Amino acid sequence: MKEEILTTQDLHLYYGDKEALKGINLNFDEKGITALIGPSGCGKSTYLRTLNRMNDLIPNVTITGTIKFKGDDLYAPSADTVQIRKEIGMVFQQPNPFPFSIYDNVIYGLRIAGEKDKEKLDAVVEKSLRQAAVWDEVKDHLHESALALSGGQQQRVCIARVLAVSPEIILLDEPTSALDPVSSSQIEATLLNLRHDYTIIIVTHNLQQASRIADRTAFFMNGELIEVDQTKNIFMNPANKQTEDYISGRFG
Amino acid sequence: MRRLFDDELAELDADFTEMGMLVSETIEQAVSSFTNRDAVAAQQIIDHDHDINEREIALEKKTFEMIALYQPVTTDLREIVTILKAVSELERAGDHARNIAHATIKFGTKQKIPVLEQLLNQMGLMTTQMVKDVLAAYVDKNDHEARKLADVDRQLDQLNHQVRADSYAQMRSDPAFETGASIYLNVAQDLSRIGDYVTNVCEWIVYLKSGQIIELNTASQDGETA
């Protein structure tokens, strides 16, 4: 029996007066990949960012409803955002390595947490880069700048940086839209390996990507969750006409 | 939003319906050639069998291209899969029309057996109508009608059994009837097989509408080998 690791209940989000999320109820079991799809402006990225409180940084945002991570309210006054973002990591659309070496990128989270044991740091770097499926490509260049890597390699180093702090959930916001098809498929292969150990939630505009890698797919439109189901059902026989029209490219 | 895919799908749909009409006409002509023992009409059917095969290949090629180029999902995918599967069923039904044409020529001027002649006329009319009905059900995307056609298939199977029993009876009563009776038997079998293929098309129409893959007439397969 799988446990629900993350639950959202009646989640509303307003940018000023504009209601961007209109009461989202969506839960996530431990492990596996859930893809969030929908036309631009449908609220999927906004929703993703509420899951590790990234919207806190945007002025004029109001959030109501409940998000619980392992039963604890993510938005409780006592919640520690640094801890939350360690447990619920995020990978962005543009690879955003820091202007340091690959090694220092990966251990960034641990270093700010005060970890100094070199042996331990070395082990984490290797393990994280292996998990992110980029170790073989970068192992001889660990102390060279991460900015010298290709876009696809940078993105996998960014995934390794998230993995290094041992998260439980990994959020990805269109992680391959800035990458070429080969790099994209490497990221997809990486995610397919990681889904056995992590709960992965990915926003993607690439419907084929969702159909290839996601166990579950959620379709958003106009700030509402229209339908969520096993990916196979969504792509073969969705329950909702709007889902069908979007998936079939009739709009969006 | 009108997609390029919709235009291509409409074209594919029209080509498929056209092939369906060709198969339907061929079956009708085969039945009438046998009823009238019209060897000339029968030979024409045999000579034109490749038309159906070529259309099948062209339609398959087109569906493969559309799958590769458009990567259709949901209803789009089901429409393409339905056509891909149904063209094979139609082509096989066409092969049985060709068999009937061969039977017509082989029968030649042998003495007709009235009781079998009447049964085969009945089967021929039912089969011809069934093929027309399945095309209408496809064009209308009417899964309800498609499901109903399975009943006709069951009736065809029963008639086929009766032809079998009567043919054997004739063979026993007079060995001179042996060749003729065996031809009746084969033609009834061909008509019954056409009914099976039409039923398979009906199953794909149900799939097109519902996404469910079902078996409409499980009895007919047993009947055939009985």
pLDDT in tens, A112-152: 889 999 999 999 999 999 999 999 999 999 999 999 999 99
Say which DSSP state A1 is in. Answer: -
Give the C-alpha separation, B131 to B128, whole Å.
Answer: 5
Q: Which residue has the tokens 């098309």?
A: B201
- DSSP at A114: T
Q: A248 and B74: CB-CB below 8 Å?
A: yes
pLDDT-derived band at B51, boundaries 50, 70, 90: very high
Confidence of residue B220 (pLDDT cuts 50, 70, 90): low
> Would you say residue A252 lies in a domain?
no
Residue B3's pLDDT is: 85
- The answer to whether B170 touches B179, Cβ cutoff 8 Å, is no
Give the length of chain B. 226
Kindly report the length of chain A.
252
Cβ-Cβ contacts under 8 Å, A208 against chain B: 71
**How far is the C-alpha of B55 from the C-alpha of B51, rounded, in Å?**
6
User: pTM of the prediction?
Assistant: 0.85
Domain assignment present for residue A226? The answer is yes
Domains identified in chain A, total number: 1
The confidence score (pLDDT) of residue A1 equals 54
ipTM of this complex prediction, to 2 decimal places: 0.73
Examine residue A118 and state whether it is found in any structural domain, yes or no: yes
**How large is the average pLDDT for residues A182-209?**
95
pLDDT of residue B224: 42
SS3 A79: coil
For residue A77, tell me if it sits in a domain: yes
d(CA A68, CA A51): 9
What pLDDT does B222 receive?
Answer: 45
Task: Give the percent of chain B with pLDDT over 90.
Answer: 88
Q: Which residue has the higher pLDDT, A204 or B176?
A: A204
Phi, psi of A150 (to 5 degrees): -70, 165
pLDDT at A2 > cutoff 80: no
Integer Cα distance of A237 and B213 in angstroms = 12
C-alpha–C-alpha distance, residues B219 and B205, integer Å: 20
Is residue A33 within 8 A of residue A189, CB to CB? The reply is no
Residues A244, B74: C-beta atoms closer than 8 Å: yes
Amino acid residing at B77: L
CATH number, position A88: 3.40.50.300
pLDDT at B36 over 80: yes
B68: exposed, middle or buried (C-beta count within 10 Å: 0-12, 13-18, 19+)? exposed
Question: Residue B189 CB: number of other CB atoms within 10 A?
Answer: 17
B68 Cβ under 8 Å from any chain A Cβ: no
Cross-chain Cβ contact A237/B74 below 8 Å = yes
Which chain B residue has its CA at the smallest distance from A243's CA?
B74
Query: What integer is the mean pLDDT of B4-8?
Result: 92
Give me the pLDDT at residue B219, please. Answer: 61
Domain that holds residue A235: 4-247
Number of neighbouring beta carbons within 10 Å of residue B221: 12
Q: What is the overall mean pLDDT for chain A?
A: 95
Looking at the complex, report in whole angstroms how far the Cα of residue B211 sits from the nearest Cα belonging to chain A: 6
pLDDT for the residue B116:
94
**Confidence check: pLDDT of B223 > 60:** no
DSSP conformational letter for A54: G
Name all domains of chain B by residue range, CATH numbers in brackets: 4-225 (1.20.58.220)
CA–CA gap between residue A101 and residue B140 (Å, rounded): 65
Q: Find the mean pLDDT for residues A88-93.
A: 95
pLDDT in tens, B132-173: 999 999 999 999 999 999 999 999 999 999 999 999 998 999
Residue B204: pLDDT band (50, 70, 90) is: very high
Question: Domain for residue A225, yes or no?
Answer: yes
Average pLDDT over residues A179-208: 95
A154-163, B178-187, B212-221: which has the minimum mean pLDDT?
Answer: B212-221
Residue B64 has pLDDT above 80, yes or no: yes
The amino acid at A192: L
**3-state class (DSSP) for residue B31:** helix
Report the residue of A244, A248, A250, A251 to disrupt the B interface, i.e. the one with the largest count of B CBs within 10 Å: A248
Beta-carbon separation of A247 and B211 below 8 A: no
Choose the closest CB to B1 out of A237, A244, A250. A250
Residue with tokens 């390996």: A193
Mean pLDDT across the stretch B33-42?
Answer: 97
Q: Are A93 and A173 in contact, with CB atoms under 8 Å apart? A: yes
How far apart are the CA of A156 and the nearest CA of chain B, in angstroms? 28
Neighbours of B49 (CB within 10 A): 17
User: Is pLDDT of B226 > 70?
Assistant: no
Look at B73 and A250 and tell me if their CB atoms are within 8 Å. Answer: no
Does residue A29 lie within any of the structural domains? yes
Q: How far is B72 from chain A (nearest CA, A)?
A: 7
